[in-house]
Structure 1
Amino acid sequence: MDANVPPVPDERSGLLGFLAQQRRVLKHAAYGLTEEQLRATPSASALSVGALLKHVAFTERGWIIRVTGGPEPSGEDSYNQQFDLSESDTLESLLAGLDAAGAETEAAIAEIDDLGRAVPVPDQPWFPKDLKAWSVRWVLLHLIEETARHAGHADIIRESIDGATGIELLAGAENWPPSPWLTPWHPQPPTT
């Protein structure tokens, strides 16, 4: 059930569990969207649910590359392009990309013995210049915070598209039975 993270036996499981849960919550905001709705920007923001899916996967991959000492993304993977949806970006491909980023994170973190290991601070204007490194633990907490923030953005965008709220989408995606206080959301058949 995505409404809560199951009990966790240790810190590593807890951090990965809460990150995975926030990814799933973000995915629920896309549940049942058409390709047109995926790209819709119904609020004052230029963000769409699709752009948020793409950005969160990009961000998580970038941090895990930094954790593992890999090369920094550049060129086509630049910051400005991570929000742009191409014709090949479909709901299916964006969800698969987010799932792949999660699997890469799980695999990378499984190989790290010490969550206190140093991770260099990126050279970006929004990061402190007087700090050389954070820990893997800090990176995982930051990814939870970043993913949760964008899941909230996606909830607002989704509600602006068709009125569906997060709990209704979760209930629909998980096939909860209707109750007096909650009707699970399900895609409506197209009208002709």
Structure 2
Amino acid sequence: MPAHVPPIADEREGLLAYLTQQRQALRATAHGLTDDQARTTPTASALSIGGLIKHAARCEAGWTDLILQRQRGPQRTAEEDDSAEFALTAQETLADVLDQYEAAAWETDAVIAEIADLGQAVPVPQGLPWFPADVENWSVRWVLLHLIEETSRHGGHADIIRESIDGATLFPLLAAAEQWPDPWFQPWQAPTG
């Protein structure tokens, strides 16, 4: 059935399947939007759909880097204003951030496929206020669960933003974006006129 995780064989497959499902839901909130609509902040927050997808791509890539213990590019500091991370700038397009998100997802899935033990330790970065000082390591399993949590939270934000933009809701958007063969929701259609 569309919009549901299919039956799973084991823990790894289940964690990746649920992460994939949440990624698809977040991506679906952008279906049919223009770049200007993806920049829109129609709710009480400063969040936009394009900005949320951009942030999700950056965060997922960052967690994959953490698993691999590698550093790419400058690292965020506690003093840095991260509001630009949540905004789709005039120089960025929705297609760009969707591509970045797809690349981050592909890399995460490929890295996880190569890890023999999901209990493998992932060192917790020290000296940053958003990471606990009293925890030395997480497991790869914990990181995957956190990615599911984070993606779900931002998907909920994006749902509200999308509904504020044009009234579209998740299941009709999914039915349209994924071209469900026998939709149990009327697929979303772009407004005419």
Asked if these proteins are the same fold (TM beyond 0.5), I'd say: yes
Bigger shift: 43-52 or 164-173? 164-173
Deviations 1:141-179 (A, max 9, x none): 000000000001000000000000111111222334787
Q: What is the distance in 2 between the residues matched to 1:84 and 1:163?
A: 21
Q: What is the distance in 2 between the residues matched to 1:63 and 1:178?
A: 37
- Residue 128 of structure 1 corresponds to which residue in structure 2? 132
- Residue 66 of structure 2 corresponds to which residue in structure 1? 66
- Residue 150 of structure 2 corresponds to which residue in structure 1? 146
Stretches (4+) displaced over 2 A: 75-79, 84-88, 174-179
Contact 2:39 2:87 in 1 (8 A): no
Contact 1:2 1:25 in 2 (8 A): no
SS at match of 2:88: coil
Shift of 1:182: 3.5
SS at match of 1:188: coil
Shift of 1:183: 2.3
Report the TM-score when normalising by structure 1: 0.90
Aligned residues: 189
Match of 2:122 among 119, 122, 142: 119
- Residue 95 of structure 2 corresponds to which residue in structure 1? 92
Q: What percent of counterpart residues are identical?
A: 55
RMSD: 2.2
Shift of 1:187: 1.7
- Residue 40 of structure 1 corresponds to which residue in structure 2? 40
Shift of 1:65: 0.1
Unaligned runs of 5+ in 1: none
SS at match of 2:122: strand
